[in-house]
Structure 1
Amino acid sequence: MAPRVLVSDELSETAVQIFRDRGVEVDFQPKLGKDKEKLAEIIGNYDGLAIRSATKATEKLIAAATNLKVIGRAGIGVDNVDIPAASKRGIIVMNTPFGNSITTAEHAIALMFAVARQIPQADVSTQAGKWEKSKFMGVEITGKTLGVIGAGNIGGIVCKKAIGLGMHVLAYDPFLSNDRAQEMGVTKVELDELLAKADFITLHVPMTDKTRGILSKENIAKTKPGVRIINCARGGLVDEAALAEAIKSGHVAGAGFDVFEVEPATESPLFGLPNVVCTPHLGASTTEAQENVALQVAEQMSDYLMKGAVSNAINMPSITAEEAPILKPFIRLADVLGSFAGQMTENPIKEIEILYDGVTSTMNTKALTSALLAGLIRPLVADVNMVSAPIMVKEKGIIVSEVKRDKTGVYDGYIKLTITTEKQTRSVAGTVFSDGKPRFIQIKGINMDADVGQNMIYISNTDVPGMIGFMGTTLGNAKVNIANFQLGRDKEGGDAIALLYVDGPVDQAVLNQLTANPAVKQAKSLVFNVD
């Protein structure tokens, strides 16, 4: 019996035909995504769901999708899909991460021009029969400094186009290396320097805990007087109320926004302000981009349903059916090691070395490396996957090397990750035991044997008496329950590490209490996907 796919949003007829040509039965109902009740009523009849942004794949809908195997999102954003709920049900979530990059970059440039020359306001005035030539005095783009927050795929295209316009480009991106910045022709800076020097600022980062409110009231106050701010990335990156106040005060000269904290945006503090240009999330809205992502999602879903091939998956590695049983626990291990390094590292990464020892050296190390890189980048780029991670790392100019060797120690096989930043080198190693669960076996050269839990605390300290009691008492007083506690040290009185597996998230206030002890060098809360 042929697999069945429901298309509940607008996709082109060409994309729908791809399903049919590849042997998939397709039900094209492009208006159904807006009817939540009807969609939930029939979703149980389908193996695949192809959507854009109108359909909301909520936990309730996924619970009703008893036969669903794959959700395909034509576009990069998966905010309208409950990924944890889909993962629990074993439903693969795919996106098309690079189909609309050029279109979004062009829209950012278009908004920059519109704000610089007050084009929308001048158009309204002129068509109303006025001739207010002196009212709409603009500024040139050429020779101005553009600050790009996020120099990845879309941000990189914006940098290239801005340089072509004769602009000086400053880029802030924790993953951008000096070599890659030089190759791009941009100047890599810290965020504060960008804020102080940029005439225009444009954002091209995803929404994560680290990027939410990156242009806060405090950071907007640090910007150069007369700056103009463009956001075609995600609503919530900029404090709209604070920006509105800065525009009213004259500190910010103008803004161009395609995305908002609440969408659809029927109201915003920015609406009605002079020299603010707003569009209804049009970044990906070109004929070319819409067609590209539609065709791509149809091809990806068809390949999975007919052949079992997985590509551009948010919540599943790209591996073959034959490799899956053996590779899956090591994929999880690689992701955990990368996630540990990604959460611990604050400085731009220059080099990544991955050592595959013993049995791991004979596996599909390309898949393992992709999983590790995805884990490494995920703290900053939430929707990264195994397919896009290597591309993103390459774009950043980060050198990645693999070393394979025969078994050298007590473990049948393990993976060791070493990352080099501009300030330090950090390493972490792990293996998989017979129960299929990942374990940390070495951190910063210190041997240990630690379970991996969803919520963990990493503590580095000087090896002095009383530390275990101090940690336990501090966490106990804060009502933090310890599930597992593992220690390691390099020598008596030397450097020591503690990894604590706890029952829930730990507040920064508790971490501050730990670091208040003179013997504690660092205390950090870590979160891992261990499902």
Structure 2
Amino acid sequence: MSTVTINKTKTIKTLNNIASRGLEVLNEDNYTIDNDSNNPDAIVLRSYKMHDYEFNSNLKAIARAGAGVNNIPIEKCTELGITVFNTPGANANAVKEIVLTALMASSRNLFDGVEWIKSLEDKGEEIPSLVEAGKKQFLGKEIKGKTLGVIGLGNVGALVANDALHLDMNVIGFDPFISVNTAWNLSRNVQRAMTLEELITKSDYITVHVPLTDDTRGLFNEKTFKLMKPGAHIFNFSRGELVNDKDMAEALEGGKVGKYITDFPNENVLKMKNAVPIPHLGASTKESEENCAVMATRQVREFLETGNIKNSVNFPNASLPYTGKTRVTAFHHNIPNMVGQITSAISENNLNIADMINRSRGEYAYTMIDVDNETTTETLPELEKQINQIAGMVSVRIISQ
């Protein structure tokens, strides 16, 4: 896959309804939103499942207006040289708020209480006295002074941990892969658990904010539940598969787990005692959808116009200030002498290198090179052809004003 971009109108296709504020980012003469296009430069989507989607040869980028990318065939995109973006942190506040809502509501038995009140609909004037007599069955507990365990201290987990401290909770966190940026944003009063087992044994409430991987699938299981305090509440607003449903049902039935609040209901969850299924509302706020849409479209625009990459899940992040010079971008296998061969091709076309950057990510790497002398419409296709013929090259794009 290779292209030479010279003042070309870029076509964007959306596969879901994208917030208008996000589309406004692309509201310029050199962008066209065409949802019927069979040959877009980029696709913006939310939850549309792309695993059977036919990719056109012109497609350069896919942007998911959200954090999870399970609906996108990442490996296939990488092999085709298609950059996949997501929007980490854009919906973090929305998820944080619903976690804290669930935390307090479950502690005060609000879910069960409201459901019970609805059953009194036909009792007429008896309702007030029935309420006073029946409310004792919903006696709750305060979260102040209790311990909240936060598994995963990324964008959402860090916000939950910090705000829980302001609610006068003790907060303990576990994340062996915490980033430097997150660490800076995390309150020093969040206690660090050295192991997952330590967090589980100390917590009255546990909230999980980790991606679904082979290592985290079934993270909550029979072994995990045995370590917990009796009656602990578990909040899962990350992925349903983090919990072993069979083991959770047994833990709830036996009282080892007091409440299970999940944003990922299925048939098993609906049958569980003391489970509160929420219809995947974690990021469902107007503000969250707008934030994700704006972030996604900005990343696409930056990439199409300059080649710079931020928040890609399959390409390395790379940024080089764009001054309007002709820019060569190359996505290739991370093997020796790739950069040397690219620069040799540039030299053979009598072009001088003004600036460059090379970043790797596992088996692949991304190279951007600016040339500082004028090019012609004849030079660029020949240069692109030469670079594309280098063994190990996946995709080449030349950006020129």
- TM bin, normalised by shorter chain, reads 0.7 to 0.9
Deviation at 1:65, TM superposition (A): 2.5
Equivalent residue, structure 1, for 2:5: none
Equivalent residue, structure 2, for 1:316: 315
Check whether the contact 1:160–1:184 (CA below 8 A) recurs between aligned residues. no
Check whether the contact 2:209–2:236 (CA below 8 A) recurs between aligned residues. yes
Structure 2 counterparts to residues 110-259 of structure 1, below 5 A: 110-129=101-120, 131=131, 132-176=134-178, 180=183, 183-189=187-193, 190-259=195-264
Q: Residues 359-382 of structure 1: CA distance to partner in whole angstroms, max 9, x if unpaired?
A: xxx974xx64xx57xx6xxxxxxx
Equivalent residue, structure 1, for 2:31: 24
Check whether the contact 1:146–1:170 (CA below 8 A) recurs between aligned residues. yes
Equivalent residue, structure 2, for 1:495: none
Q: Residues 71-107 of structure 1: CA distance to partner in whole angstroms, max 9, x if unpaired?
A: 1110111010000111112211111111011111111
Equivalent residue, structure 1, for 2:387: none
Q: Residues 245-302 of structure 1: CA distance to partner in whole angstroms, max 9, x if unpaired?
A: 1110111111111135xxxx3x12x314443211122111111111011111122222
Check whether the contact 1:258–1:281 (CA below 8 A) recurs between aligned residues. yes
Evaluate the alpha carbon distance shift between residue 12 and residue 259 of structure 1 in structure 2; reply closer, same or farther with a 3 A threshold. same
Evaluate the alpha carbon distance shift between residue 308 and residue 247 of structure 1 in structure 2; reply closer, same or farther with a 3 A threshold. same
Q: Residues 398-430 of structure 1: CA distance to partner in whole angstroms, max 9, x if unpaired?
A: xxxxxxxxxxxxxxxxxxxxxxxxxxxxxxxxx
Number of equivalent positions: 324
Quick one: which of 75, 86, 92 aligns to 2:83?
92
Equivalent residue, structure 2, for 1:71: 62
Quick one: which of 31, 37, 42 aligns to 1:48?
42
Instruction: For residue 294 of structure 2, give the secondary structure of its aligned residue in structure 1.
Output: helix
Instruction: For residue 238 of structure 2, give the secondary structure of its aligned residue in structure 1.
Output: coil
Distance 2:62 2:171 in 1: 38
Instruction: For residue 45 of structure 1, give the secondary structure of its aligned residue in structure 2.
Output: coil
Equivalent residue, structure 2, for 1:9: 16
Evaluate the alpha carbon distance shift between residue 79 and residue 177 of structure 1 in structure 2; reply closer, same or farther with a 3 A threshold. closer
Deviation at 1:332, TM superposition (A): 12
Deviation at 1:185, TM superposition (A): 0.9
Check whether the contact 2:203–2:228 (CA below 8 A) recurs between aligned residues. yes
Distance 1:180 1:311 in 2: 20
Equivalent residue, structure 2, for 1:104: 95
Distance 1:22 1:172 in 2: 48
Q: Is it true that 1:283 corresponds to 2:278 in the alignment?
A: no
Structure 2 counterparts to residues 377-392 of structure 1, below 5 A: none
The one-letter amino acid of 2:9's match is A
Distance 1:292 1:120 in 2: 30
Evaluate the alpha carbon distance shift between residue 119 and residue 363 of structure 1 in structure 2; reply closer, same or farther with a 3 A threshold. same
The one-letter amino acid of 2:46's match is R
Check whether the contact 1:176–1:188 (CA below 8 A) recurs between aligned residues. no
Check whether the contact 1:216–1:238 (CA below 8 A) recurs between aligned residues. yes
Q: Is it true that 1:80 corresponds to 2:71 in the alignment?
A: yes
Check whether the contact 2:99–2:235 (CA below 8 A) recurs between aligned residues. yes
Evaluate the alpha carbon distance shift between residue 169 and residue 144 of structure 1 in structure 2; reply closer, same or farther with a 3 A threshold. same
Equivalent residue, structure 2, for 1:351: none
Give the structure-2-normalised TM-score: 0.73
Q: Is it true that 1:293 corresponds to 2:286 in the alignment?
A: no
Instruction: For residue 136 of structure 2, give the secondary structure of its aligned residue in structure 1.
Output: coil
Distance 1:163 1:246 in 2: 28
The one-letter amino acid of 1:46's match is P
Instruction: For residue 135 of structure 2, give the secondary structure of its aligned residue in structure 1.
Output: coil
Q: Residues 148-191 of structure 1: CA distance to partner in whole angstroms, max 9, x if unpaired?
A: 11122211111101111111111111135999599531211111
Deviation at 1:17, TM superposition (A): 2.7
The one-letter amino acid of 1:67's match is N
Runs of 5+ unmatched residues, structure 1? 29-41, 334-361, 376-384, 387-434, 438-531
Check whether the contact 2:220–2:243 (CA below 8 A) recurs between aligned residues. yes
Check whether the contact 1:44–1:67 (CA below 8 A) recurs between aligned residues. no
The one-letter amino acid of 2:173's match is A
Evaluate the alpha carbon distance shift between residue 12 and residue 177 of structure 1 in structure 2; reply closer, same or farther with a 3 A threshold. closer
Check whether the contact 1:44–1:68 (CA below 8 A) recurs between aligned residues. no
Distance 1:96 1:196 in 2: 33
Runs of 5+ unmatched residues, structure 2? 1-7, 121-129, 321-325, 339-354, 367-389, 393-401
Deviation at 1:329, TM superposition (A): 4.0
The one-letter amino acid of 2:176's match is P
Deviation at 1:327, TM superposition (A): 9.7
Instruction: For residue 71 of structure 1, give the secondary structure of its aligned residue in structure 2.
Output: strand
Check whether the contact 1:115–1:276 (CA below 8 A) recurs between aligned residues. no
Q: Residues 324-370 of structure 1: CA distance to partner in whole angstroms, max 9, x if unpaired?
A: 4599848999xxxxxxxxxxxxxxxxxxxxxxxxxxxx974xx64xx
Q: Residues 2-56 of structure 1: CA distance to partner in whole angstroms, max 9, x if unpaired?
A: 121111201122322322226211025xxxxxxxxxxxxx663222111001x11
| Percentage of matched positions with identical amino acids | 32
Equivalent residue, structure 2, for 1:349: none
Q: Residues 218-263 of structure 1: CA distance to partner in whole angstroms, max 9, x if unpaired?
A: 1111111111111111121111221111110111111111135xxx
Distance 1:156 1:331 in 2: 39
